Structure formats: C-alpha cells, structure tokens
Structure 1
C-alpha cells in the first residue's frame, strides 16, 4: 500500500511540476540539441553518458561553447564555456550555487565553506585564508614528503623479490593523500599506510561514496528535479535515496574523525595554537576571534575539517591517479620528466631538502601537472543560478537561430547555468587544434587572451569569488608526489592494455570499461627505476 501511495504521489508531483513549474523559454533565441524526452530534458542523457564530456564535447563542436539545453520539464538551461562569459560569471557574486546544489553540499560536507553562500561564505574564507596563503603552504612541504616517502617505502617492500608488480593506483594514492591532509592540515596521522590503521572505514567510505551517483535511473533524475523545485516542507527530505544514504555515511564518518581531531587539539595539555601554522590551528583560533565576520562556531569548524578531508583528498588523489595513467600511456613524457628530476638532483648538494622553488624550477615537470589538470578536471561541471537579470559578455562569436551574431547573452533572474570545465579546458579556440590530445608542451606557447582560472588559465580550480581555496596546496602536493614516485619507479600499462572510463558521478571516477562492477580502478605496472637505485633505497630503509 505504501509503495502504491508513493507511486501515485510521485506521478501527481510530476504532473504538478509540468503544470505549475514549466518555465517560459528565456533562451529561445539560442541554438542547442533537441532533447529525447520532454520530461527528462538532457539531464538523463548527461548522467547516462559513458565518459565525462562525450555529449558536451560533441554539442560544443556543433553549436559553439555557448548553447541552450533542456532540463527536466523543458526548463531552459544555459551551458557556457566561453572564456569571457566564464570570467564574468565566476567573478560576480550574482551567480551563486542553486539551492539544490547547496543541499547536496550540506549532505556531503555539513555547513562548511562549500555549503555557505553570501556573507557566510565570506566569513569562512576570512577564517581560512591565513592558513592557505602561499607563505604558509610552503611550510607543508616536509609533511608532504614524509607521507609520500612512506608510500615509496611500501612499494619497495612490494617489489623486494620481484622486478615488477601491478598496483591499483585508485586504491593506493587516496591513502597517501589522506595521510598528507592529516599530517599537514591537522597535525594528525590517519595511519592509512601503517599496518594498524584506525581510519580504514573513513577511507573506504570516501573511496566508494559516489558509486550510487553513477548512471541514475530516469525516476531518480525526475525525483531530483522535482525535489529541487519544491520547498523541503513538502516532505521531500523525508524520502532518502541510496545516494543520500551513502553521502550521509561519509558525512558521519568524516564528522566523527573531525570531532576526534578537534578534541585532540583542544584538550591537549599546554597546547597553544597562537603560532601554529597548520590549518586546524587556524580554525581553532577562528572560534575565539572577536570579529564576528571571521568567527566560526564549533559545528562550522567540524564541517570545515570534514570539507578539507574530502575536498583535499578525493580531488588530489583522483587527479594524481589520472596523471600516472597518462605517464604510463606516454612513456616519452615519463622519461622526459624523469630526466628533469635527475638533472635537478645532479645540480643540488646531496642531502638537500627540496623546497617548492625546486619543484617550480622544472618547466616540463610543471607542464605535466598543468596538462593533467586540463585534460582531467575531477569536478567536470558546476552549476550556478542568476540572482539578478544580467547580460553575459562573450569572446567567441555566437550565432543565434536566425544567424544573427551575438556578443552578449541576456539572462533573467533564476536562470540555471551549467559551466562545463571539461569543455572549456578543451576549447580549440583557447588550447589549439590538438586540445583533446595529451601535450604538455602547449603550456610553453599558450597565449592568454582571457584569464579564466587561478592557475595556468585552467577552469579546474574554478575562479573568482568561489575559486578553490586550497589550489596552491593541491599543486604543491601533486608536485611532491610526482617527484618522489617518478624518481623511484617507472609506470606502464598492463600488457593487455587498459581501457579507462571517466565515469560521471558528481566527481569524475576512473573505472575499467566493461568491468564497472569492480568499482574505482586504475591498475598500473610499477617497477624500480633501476636495480642500483633499488639497492640504494633498501640501504636507506635499513639505516
């Protein structure tokens, strides 16, 4: 009976959505693909595509980087990857996250910086900015190196009696990035590379948390569309999906860990956070700040820790996993990066501790990091909503349905906007005709007519008022891991090859095509750089 009532209610709500929430078509003048379904629009297609970006790349090629899509119930949605348009949207406070996206952020992170908007968002940024300044980030290098060397040690143990071993990068790399976060941000050891790890549950929860966001059914897509249109008082929060429950499981695991971390910090005898440089100390100090515009509550601090645990771990781990895949796929690139690493080692005195300046001194090494971020943005699309009527400027010529050239897009309040970072990062007008191809050399010749993002003209870290606060942290972390692992090991594809799908599931997830039941996967072969180097490393370990 309850199932019947639920179905009847669902049908009634769908009809109500059609009758009462069908919006006028404010983007009628724009060209765009025809949806296969009036009810589902393009939302179902986008969620069902085999690889991130397949549909968007094809649409952008046909219609240009700015075009009209259909949401559920024939809602007009603007998809825009135009450089000037993105700069305008991202740098303006008039394009906040829609309510439904904020609700997802709350389910995943709690009421932290990714949930906050307006003045609350500014308050979180003011509290966290000191810890993420370039000067403070440089202090984290030893912690990055320590955690990465522990991974190197583990892999040497795996290779002690063999020349080569297959390892799942999607299993190993998140362990080291979570340990990096713990050591540098919280002065806390998650111990995932130890034999007696206490936080395997948190790691497993994070690893699998987006699996229920993969290939949602038509009913799930419709339910999400109806739920975002109705206030919570209509009861939509009462029915939770499998995805909701998995995201809630992560939030509970992350907040349990965050509470433990915070308690350890605040209850430690003779502890002083006045001069401490770690992010946790900055958060703790914010609770005592006399300025209400910079003060965070204890709940907000716990949410902040949870946010950093996921956002600082999952994105870096996935990016680095794809970086190793590209290096295995392009052995010439891998060899060239190693030559730079070896060249740097030969120029510095033995025993010298590497700094951020050393990593930045290798131009091709840096270009490989940028090219990975360009080709594989882990958050491929973000959603914004216009809070005011506006006119969005364009830098790439656009023709409307009548063939008239347009330099601006008129926008009405409430307009939903999809910003596909994956499309912008592959625009031929920005990156050249080989924009879909791996080519780190492009960063030596690229011209920046419009600067969109905070790093390398990439959209990967977003830009403007809601750009990624920890982008410099992430870049330095990627550099440290790349240097240490390539100095010790060579990476190659399995003999039978490796067909990786870039699965859309909120964040982009690597899986093996045809073997999705295995979950997140990136199996690569690893061997010592040289036998001599292996013996040298073994001696170091014994010492």
Structure 2
C-alpha cells in the first residue's frame, strides 16, 4: 500500500511539473526569437538528436547552418540555447555568472552522487569551497606532484607494457589502462592513497569499476534527470525506499555505484582524520608524505578560521568529486592524444625526438616541472588535442533571472536584426565548448583540423581579439569564471608526464579495427560495429 502511495505521488508531481513546464515554455517560446530547427514532437526532435551517441555530426551541422547562437527544442519542447559566441559566453561565464548557474538537476544529481563537493554547490557556498581549495592547486604545490606522477607512470604502467611487448608488437585496450592510471594518479596525488589499480595480476579495483560505470549508467537516465529536483529534497531513506520499487535496472545500478564510491572515500577520510588528530608526524608518514591534495586541504582547513572552515561532509564530498572528475576526463584526453599520434606517425616521431633530446640534456632520470612545461612540441600536442577534441562538449546553465546577453555579431530574426538577446528566467543555455574551440572565424578555415604546429607560431589576431573567456589557451575546454575546472593544471601535468614516459618507450599504431568516438557527457572511444559493452581503445604498440 505504501509503495502504491509513493507511485501515485510520483505521478501527481510529474503531472504538475509537466503542466508548469509547458506553461513556462510557451511563454519563453514567444520571447526567444533566435533561429533554429523546428521541433518534431513533444518528446522527440532536437532533444533526442542532441544527446544521441552519434550526435557530433548533428552539432557541427547545426553550427554551420545556424551560427553561434541557436535555439533548439528540449525534452518538453522547451526552447534551449546553444551558445558558441565568445562575447555571449563571456557574459554567461563571467559578467552574469550569478544569473547563469548550473541547472537544478545537475546540482541535485551531483549532490546525491558525490556529496556536497564543488559539483554539488552553488553561489556563496561554492565560492567558500573554492577559496579553501585554490591554494592546493597552485603551481607551487603542483611541482611536488610531478615526481609522484613519474613514479606511478614508470613503475606501474610503462614497465608493465614493456614486459608485454617483450616478444614483439602487442595490442591492448589503452582506455582501460589509462582509466586505471588516471585513478591511481588522483588517488596518490589527490588522496595519498592507492587502489593498486595498475597491478597486472590483480582484478580491477571495485572503486575503479564504479567510477567507470557511473557516466554510462547516468547517461541512460538522461531523460529522467530534469525531474529529479522534484523529489531530491525528500529524506534519503524515503528516496532509497521508493527507488527499490522503480522497475528500471539502471536506477538500482546507480545506487550501487554511488554506495561504492562513498564507502571507499569514507574509509580514506576516516583514516586520514585519525592520523591528523594523533599528530606526532604520523600524517607525514602516510603514502605521499602528506603532500597530496586532500591531506594539504585537511591541514589548511584545521588552521582556518571558523568562518572559512569546511565541515567533514564537505571535505568528504571534495574527495569523491576529485576522484570522479579527474579519472574519466583525464583517461579520455590521454586516449585521444594516443589515438591522434597513431594516426599521425610523423607527429609522434617529432615528439619522440623532442623528448629524447630533453632527457639527454637533463641531469636527472626524469623531467621536472620546469623542463616539462618548457617543451614546445609536447605543449603544442596537448593544447591542440584539448582544443579540437575537448573531453566535455557542452556546459549547461540555466537563467535564474531575466537577462540580456550581448552578441559579437547581429542575428537576423523574423522581426529584424538584434545585437543583444533577451533570455527569460528558466531558459536552459548550453555553452558549446567544441563550437567555440573550432570556430573558423576565430581559428581560421582549418579550425577543425588537428595541427599541433599552429601553436609553434604566434596565434592569429582573430584568436586574441575574440577574447574567449576560458582559463586555458584561448579555449573553453576547462571553461572560465567561478565554475572553471579547478584542477586543470593538475590534469595538464598528468598528461605531459604520461605522454613523455610512454612515447619515449613505445611506438603506437592503429589497430586493424576502426575506432569511433561516441558523443555524450564525456566523449569516449569504441570499436565500430563492436558488441562489447562500454568504451574501449585497442591500440598496437611495440618497444622503441
């Protein structure tokens, strides 16, 4: 009887939400005059095309056809805006960032999945957390991370692959290895903990499997995520009880995955807190000698004023958030670099030559922070990969108040040209990261081509004059403003260390199968026509 009551309550809330949404969307449709393709029906049309695994071509077609500001139809036929105009993005990400915040469903889903970390907070609460975390991601602290990255990559990945290639060229799933590597890098560099995820003789760690399953599982629930705020404020016990009666396997799977993530991070946090309270230098005797991100944060937090101090549940939330955010995106970026180097053997050879010369000049067995950041071709390969192929293609925002946003160029509408756009409260706005990064009017007619050499000469004036509001290399790959990726320097260092180690040791080439990249929350590789479950990147490699 209780289960039936909960089901009826869900249906009533859903109906109320549907009617309210339609009423609000009809008002928005009368105000938003931006060109865009018409909707086909209430639950299909643009929404299904936008989020399909093969949607990359659709988005490129949209940009070429309709320009930098496009109106599309969402789940309930509501108008949404796709924005790649740098001037408009500056308004959304910087000037009016308090108006254009993360969506309710994004915040609530992350809050329940990862806890009250950076991905699950808004406004002043979010700024308080970043204030405590920013010093931990400083250049000074990143320098101490480089030896940790080298050690893990060399001993736990390069040496393993070296043994595998003892008898000649071999083929392995590099996405799987990069996923394990990225998890171990953030585990040791971020938490001072090891999951032993790169142990060739051990089964894949339970936490690693959970991280890998999260994005594919949550993607299957994409159509339901906008409705989550309706019930997210209910007590946790009631949500979990009701979920037991939902006849959708992915709902039960996402609960299992998040439970695993919370259990592991809670164990690490409790152990660290106990060492910190005991004192006597025990904190510095753990793995990473207390230099990992969370250890430094916990020490800083203990010395902070009562006003700035973060409660335990928020530090725990940062741990889960860091582990998740730094694993999938980094492994995907590394996979893309390796795939591109295999497609362009001349670039791979030129990069190998630069690395060999750098190691020959160095008096150390491994390149330090300053030596890595001063390698121009390695920098060019990383920048160009992240420009053309950002792991995350879109950043959704919602207007929490009526707003006017400027346009770089006037837009022709049915009622005449406009140089600014009125965005009604409640309108979904998606920053088109890839569209801005590959805009031909900014980067030139070859904007969509992968050319590392473009970074070895001064950039065109069109790039600097565009004033793209990103924190990294005139791109939006790591976004900008108060919600920019806080760990982008950490991620860059990881990639440079891993590439420098692997490219010197191995020559990578394409497998016999064709690799395709699937659109989603995070773009992932897979084998064309394969029936295998989950993303994969088979690559052939041999010793140099």
Tell me the TM-score normalized by structure 2. Answer: 0.88
Change over 3 Å in CA distance of 1:107–1:507 after alignment to 2: farther
Change over 3 Å in CA distance of 1:458–1:326 after alignment to 2: same
Q: Contact 1:186 / 1:280 at 8 angstroms: preserved in 2?
A: yes
- In the other structure, the counterpart of 1:34 is 38
Q: How do residues 285-300 of structure 1 correspond to structure 2 at under 5 angstroms?
A: 285-300=299-314
Change over 3 Å in CA distance of 1:48–1:385 after alignment to 2: same
Structure 2, gaps ≥5 residues long: none
Q: How do residues 9-20 of structure 1 correspond to structure 2 at under 5 angstroms?
A: 16-20=16-20
Q: 1:281, CA displacement in angstroms?
A: 1.8
- In the other structure, the counterpart of 2:63 is 60
Query: 1:278-307: per-residue Cα shift (whole Å, max 9, x none)?
Result: 212233235434524421111111111111
Change over 3 Å in CA distance of 1:517–1:117 after alignment to 2: same
Q: 1:178, CA displacement in angstroms?
A: 1.3
Tell me the TM-score normalized by structure 1. Answer: 0.88
- In the other structure, the counterpart of 1:119 is 124
- In the other structure, the counterpart of 1:541 is none
Q: How do residues 125-274 of structure 1 correspond to structure 2 at under 5 angstroms?
A: 125-150=130-155, 151-160=157-166, 162-194=167-199, 200-214=205-219, 216=220, 223-228=224-229, 232=233, 238-239=242-243, 241-268=248-275, 270-271=280-281
- In the other structure, the counterpart of 2:481 is 464
State the alpha-carbon separation in 2 of the partners of residues 310 and 264 from structure 1. Answer: 20
Query: 1:342-363: per-residue Cα shift (whole Å, max 9, x none)?
Result: 22123333x3541122112221
- In the other structure, the counterpart of 2:112 is 107
Q: 1:99, CA displacement in angstroms?
A: 0.9
Structure 1, gaps ≥5 residues long: 530-543
Change over 3 Å in CA distance of 1:516–1:410 after alignment to 2: farther
Q: 1:198, CA displacement in angstroms?
A: 8.4
2:107 corresponds to 1:95:
no
Query: 1:12-56: per-residue Cα shift (whole Å, max 9, x none)?
Result: 7666555432121254311001122123452222222414x2222
Change over 3 Å in CA distance of 1:5–1:248 after alignment to 2: closer
SS of corresponding position for 2:524: strand
1:442 to 418, 436, 454: 454
1:393 to 386, 400, 406: 406
Query: 1:223-270: per-residue Cα shift (whole Å, max 9, x none)?
Result: 444445677569988446544443333322222221222233233352
SS of corresponding position for 1:392: strand
State the alpha-carbon separation in 2 of the partners of residues 439 and 378 from structure 1. Answer: 18
State the alpha-carbon separation in 1 of the partners of residues 354 and 417 from structure 2. Answer: 48
Query: 1:468-503: per-residue Cα shift (whole Å, max 9, x none)?
Result: 110000001100001000010011001x34231324
Change over 3 Å in CA distance of 1:108–1:222 after alignment to 2: closer
Q: How many residues align?
A: 519
State the alpha-carbon separation in 2 of the partners of residues 394 and 321 from structure 1. Answer: 36
Q: Contact 1:207 / 1:520 at 8 angstroms: preserved in 2?
A: no
State the alpha-carbon separation in 1 of the partners of residues 343 and 87 from structure 2. Answer: 34
State the alpha-carbon separation in 2 of the partners of residues 399 and 33 from structure 1. Answer: 15
Q: Contact 2:105 / 2:226 at 8 angstroms: preserved in 1?
A: no
Q: Contact 2:407 / 2:419 at 8 angstroms: preserved in 1?
A: yes
Change over 3 Å in CA distance of 1:468–1:244 after alignment to 2: farther
